[in-house]
Every structure is written in structure tokens, then in C-alpha cells.
Amino acid sequence: MTQFFPQQLRQLADVSFTLFDIDKQTKVVQGKNESVLSFGVNVLNERLQESMPAGSKILEIGCGRSSYFKANLSKNIQWLGLDLYKNDGKGARSIATHIGSVHEMPFEDSEFDFVLANQSLEHWFEYDVTITDALTEIARVLKTGGEAWLNFPLFLHGDPRCLSGDITAVLGEIPREFFSEIRVEFLKSDKNGNYEGWRFCGFPDFLVNSKTSINVNLILKRDVQQVARNLQYTKLRRLSRIERLSSYGLRFLFWKSVNWVLGRDRKKNAEKD
């Protein structure tokens, strides 16, 4: 498991890095066709809820049409959900209580004890939102001493830095002045073996330097300093398809184009047959 600890991480003395073995937990059951990444997210959500005092208020960013955390609430916790759209691309309605972006959230300063984002961080770049700006806004809505639990995949999809596993670049965008404690957990599972999730997401092996996709859990504790709402908010803009594809480099664009042409030819031949 040493592959999860790049040498450059050891230079970040103020960050705590640990392995979290999801095989050792007993409360969450993995579905028959559930991926190890999805299972790991559920385990983290269960653990977060167990650690929260009764009466806590939590915001889930990017909740979409379903939430393991909300569906499994077992004590007095106030849950609010934030999502960009009332309906997703397939027309399914979001369970969000509020519509908005992590770039500019419709909440008061210091409103939440906890903020949760499940597999959301790697998609922020698609809306031209930097990790720094998003985390600054998250710090704003967190109470002093509050925690943000942000899990995201490496070697799967989304932000090119997440796809390539450049965790150092991701952590480099954390606005350290707002957080007094930074913890990073790499989730492991020996029962599931390797999971080459990037292939299911349509990415070639040459963009990924790993044998398996993995989940990372980033825990940030809000500092006592006051966060000034000094971001220059602009209208949310989703990157075009060509902009998103270009972010992975020219080699990927060429690979994607060739596969698109070959796939179109195969489809034509199949129709003739």
C-alpha cells in the first residue's frame, strides 16, 4: 500500500496521512454489484454520522437525487442538501433543499457544524470553479471548529489532477489560513482487489499511473480566524465539452478522436450486417 504515499507528500509536515481499511468495518454492507469506490463512500458517510453530536447541522454539497447519509440518519441531525439543478441530465429530481453552486452558496456565515461532499470535488473544475475558491466558501459557512469531509477519487475521472493522481497539487489549493487541521485518508480494500475505474469512464491507461482507482477522504477543521467573503463571484459557466477534453492534453484528444472514428465505423458496419 506504499503506492498511496508519494514521496512528495512527506514534505507536507502539517498534513496527517493515514490509511483507512474499509474491510474492517462491519455496519455497512457492500451491494452485489456495487463498486469499491461507492462502497467506500458509504462507509465514510456512516463513520461521519457516528462521530457527529446530536443536534448537529450538516450541509451535503452535490447531493443529487440520492444520499446515503440522509437516507440513514439515525439521530437528531439537521441535514440540508445543495445541488446545481432541480433535475439531473436524465430528468430525475434532486433531493436538494437548496439550489446553488459551491462557488457561491445561499447560506449564512458560520451556519453549519459539518460540510460533506461525496465525489464532488473532482467535478468543480467543470464549472470553472477552483478548489481554492470552493474551500474558501466552505470555510465561510462552517462554524468555528466545524469540519468539512470531502471524499473524491484518484485515477477515475474529473479534474485532470485527480485522474492522474496528483494529490499534492490538489492539496496545494487548500487555503491554509482558514483551516487549523488537515487530515488525508487513503481508503484501502484487500477484499475487492484492483478497480480500473478510469476505463469504465472512457479514459486510456496512459493518463493513469496506477493499478487501481482509489478514494481519498479530506478532513478540514475550520480555524478560529474570521473568513471574509472576498471572492469575486461571477455567473457560473460550465466548460464546453471540447474545453473539458482539452484539459487532459493533446495526446488524449488524438486518442479520443481516433476511437470516435473507429467506433462510428464499427457502428456503420454493424448496421449493414
In whole angstroms, give the CA distance from residue 81 to residue 73. Answer: 14
* Prediction pTM value: 0.90
What value does the mean pLDDT take over residues 115-129? Answer: 97
State the residue range of the domain holding 255: 240-273
Residues 96 and 207 in one domain: yes
**Amino acid letter, residue 152:** F
The predicted-structure confidence for 223-260, as pLDDT tens digits, reads as follows 876 665 655 667 788 999 999 999 999 999 999 999 98
Share of the chain above pLDDT 90, in %: 75
pLDDT per position as a tens digit, 67-91: 999 999 988 999 999 999 888 767 7
The pLDDT of 191-211, averaged and rounded, is 94
Which residue did the predictor score with more confidence, 117 or 166?
A: 117
User: What residues have CB less than 8 Å from 180, skipping those under 6 apart?
Assistant: 221, 222, 223, 224
Give percent of the chain with pLDDT exceeding 70: 88
Task: Indicate whether 209 and 102 sit together in one domain.
Answer: yes
250 shares a domain with 209: no
Task: Give the DSSP H/E element, type plus range, for residue 150.
Answer: strand 142-154
Q: For the chain, percent helix, then strand, then coil, each to nearest 5?
A: 35, 25, 40
Residues 64 and 82 in one domain: yes
- Tens digit of pLDDT for each residue in 27-42? 999 999 999 999 999 9
Compute the average pLDDT of residues 199-214.
94
For residue 266, what pLDDT is reported? 58
205: left (phi over 0), alpha (psi -120 to 50) or beta: alpha
Residue 5 carries which DSSP code? S
Q: What is the mean pLDDT of residues 111-120?
A: 98
The answer to whether residues 213 and 269 belong to one domain is no
